[in-house]
Amino acid sequence: MGGQQSTFSQLFTSTYRHIVMLGLDCAGKTTVLYRMKLEQYMNTVPTIGFNCEKVKGHIGKSKGVSFTIWDIGGQDKLRPLWNTYMHHTEGIIFVVDSCDCERFEEAKIELSAE
């Protein structure tokens, strides 16, 4: 667990990071993105293609960091394109709908494929 924490903390040692947000369709990726950016919940529609937003974050009293987060659509036909968004990426957020237990195995397979 300590290794995971130090890896997470390293994301905040620079002032700019490129993050890709992946997950199955209807997992809540766009909702998470705009919750992070706007600090409020929004009604969203399925993403066809991608959304890209800059989000500012910080830990404690640090000066903060800007993340460019690419929210990539999760439909079957878009998943083969996920790898094209991985160049120069420092992190991946993989979103899983915890209420949709029937799709856990599908999410596990897709996460393992990347």
The answer as to whether 26 is a domain residue is: yes
Percent over 70 (pLDDT), the chain: 82
More confident of the two residues 10 and 91: 91
Query: Can 75 be counted among the known catalytic residues?
Result: yes
Q: For residue 2, is it within any domain?
A: no
What is the extent of the structural domain holding 84?
A: 15-113
39 domain-assigned:
yes
Structure tokens at 73: 């659509």
73 belongs to a structural domain: yes
Residue 97 located in a structural domain? yes
The Cα–Cα gap between 48 and 71 comes to 10
pLDDT value for 2: 46
Q: How many domains does the chain have?
A: 1
Note whether residue 1 is domain-resident: no
7 is in an annotated binding site: no
Is residue 76, in this structure, part of any structural domain at all? yes
Q: Is 101 among the annotated ligand-binding positions?
A: no
Amino acid at 38: L
Q: Which residues contact 17 (CB under 8 A, 6 or more apart)?
A: 11, 65, 66, 67, 68, 90, 91
Q: Is 100 annotated as a binding residue?
A: no
| 51 located within any domain | yes
CATH number at residue 56: 3.40.50.300
pTM: 0.80
The answer to the question of whether 27 is labelled as a binding residue is: yes
Cβ-based burial of 51 (10 A; exposed 0-12, middle 13-18, buried ≥19): middle
Average pLDDT, integer, range 14-18: 76
pLDDT tens, 38-94?
Answer: 989 989 999 999 999 999 877 667 677 889 999 999 999 999 999 998 888 999 999
